[in-house]
């Protein structure tokens, strides 16, 4: 039983394996640290040089002359994101309610697969269809160039629908059936139960869905580039073209050097920090909700 040599060899190789596996797991930590370091290293100096207030609130973006104000693009991102959420959030939540509470099981399942498929379609394909179909339509029916905030809002909304739908649906399905039964037993109708009991009970999950949808919208790039016209102006109406922060990075990275490049990194840095904080907030609130015996 104490065949020491066999024993020691076996223990040693088991230890080696455990260490290798631990290193694999540690790569996640390493990557996040590297991303943070390198993006900050590239972007921070410029932010410090110009000052974050100037960088963010100056609407003068002219890299050729050394002007790096991203206000127009910041507004652009906000405008497109906001307009997308205006229609996608209600539609998404309604669809989620439909799938969780109203649809017959087979329909819910088919709809679920369809939402999954929607989620898998790449950004460029959405952008492409938007460019070929939506943009001319807007041009013809509503005027303007077609490449606009509206086009961006429509396409972006379609892209965040799957996120909003699936997370909201999961939240609704997680509501304990006793709530529903209790309400119905008191004589409430199906819709009263949904409106007054089930949806409020799933509230935190639905809010999570919306927040994550917003995060996705802000980070979205390719489709937005293809349909919004990319003009560095503050949009005067939804028919006006616009450029988002993410679009800016992709469009100019190919030829940007020196400070110009650094400014693009600085934009990325701001996005990075914002989205990471957003996600952390969501994570923390979900865990806190669960700790309080919540949803």
Binding mask 199-238 for other proteins (x = CB under 8 A): -------------x--xx-xxxxx--xx------------
Q: Which stretch binds other proteins (CB under 8 A): 62-70, 76-84, 113-121, 179-187?
A: 113-121
Structure tokens at 197: 């009991």
Nearest C-alpha neighbor of 152 from the set 79, 209, 92:
79
State the nearest-atom distance from the C-beta of 94 to other proteins, in Å. Answer: 4
Residue 146 binds other proteins, judged by CB under 8 A: no
Using CB under 8 A, which of 91, 184, 188, 207 touches other proteins? 91
Using CB under 8 A, which of 121, 142, 281, 288 touches other proteins? 121
Main-chain phi, psi angles of 62, to 5 degrees: -140, 85
Q: Give residues 236-255 in contact with other proteins (rule: CB under 8 A).
A: 246, 249-250, 253-254
Residue 39 binds other proteins, judged by CB under 8 A: yes
Binding mask 44-83 for other proteins (x = CB under 8 A): ----------------------------------------
Q: How far is CA 32 from the centre of its chain?
A: 18
Residue 128 binds other proteins, judged by CB under 8 A: yes
Using CB under 8 A, which of 12, 17, 181, 290 touches other proteins? 17
Cα–Cα dist 136/150, whole Å: 12
Q: Which CB sits closer to other proteins, 32 or 174?
A: 32
Residues 278/215, Cβ–Cβ less than 8 Å = yes
Q: Give residues 264-293 in contact with other proteins (rule: CB under 8 A).
A: 264-265, 268, 271-272, 275-276, 278-280, 283
Q: Which CB sits closer to other proteins, 12 or 237?
A: 12
């Amino acid at each position: 039983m104490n065949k020491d040599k066999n024993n020691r060899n076996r223990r040693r190789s088991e230890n080696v394996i455990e260490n290798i596996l631990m290193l694999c797991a540690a790569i996640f930590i390493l990557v996040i640290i590297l991303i943070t370091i390198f993006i900050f290293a590239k972007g921070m100096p410029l932010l410090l040089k110009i000052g974050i207030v100037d960088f963010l609130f100056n609407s003068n973006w002219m890299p050729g002359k050394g002007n790096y104000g991203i206000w127009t693009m910041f507004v652009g991102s906000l405008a497109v994101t906001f307009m997308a959420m205006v229609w996608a959030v209600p539609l998404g939540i309604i669809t989620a309610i439909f799938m969780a509470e109203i649809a017959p099981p087979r329909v819910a399942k088919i709809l679920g697969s369809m939402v999954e498929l929607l989620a898998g379609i790449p950004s460029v394909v959405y952008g492409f269809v938007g460019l070929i179909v939506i943009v001319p339509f807007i041009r013809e029916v509503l005027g303007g160039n077609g490449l606009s905030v509206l086009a961006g809002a429509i396409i972006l909304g379609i892209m965040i629908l799957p996120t909003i739908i699936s997370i909201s649906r999961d939240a609704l399905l997680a509501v304990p059936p006793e709530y529903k039964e209790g309400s119905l037993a008191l004589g409430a109708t199906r819709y009263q139960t949904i409106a007054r009991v089930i949806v409020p009970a799933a509230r935190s999950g639905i809010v999570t869905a919306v927040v994550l949808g917003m995060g996705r919208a802000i980070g979205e790039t390719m489709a937005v580039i293809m349909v919004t016209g990319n003009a560095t102006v503050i949009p005067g109406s939804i028919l006006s073209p616009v450029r988002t922060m993410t679009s800016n990075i992709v469009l100019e990275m190919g030829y940007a050097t020196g400070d110009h490049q650094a400014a693009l990194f600085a934009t990325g840095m701001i996005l990075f920090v914002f989205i990471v904080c957003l996600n952390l907030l969501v994570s923390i609130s979900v865990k806190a909700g669960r700790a309080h015996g919540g949803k």
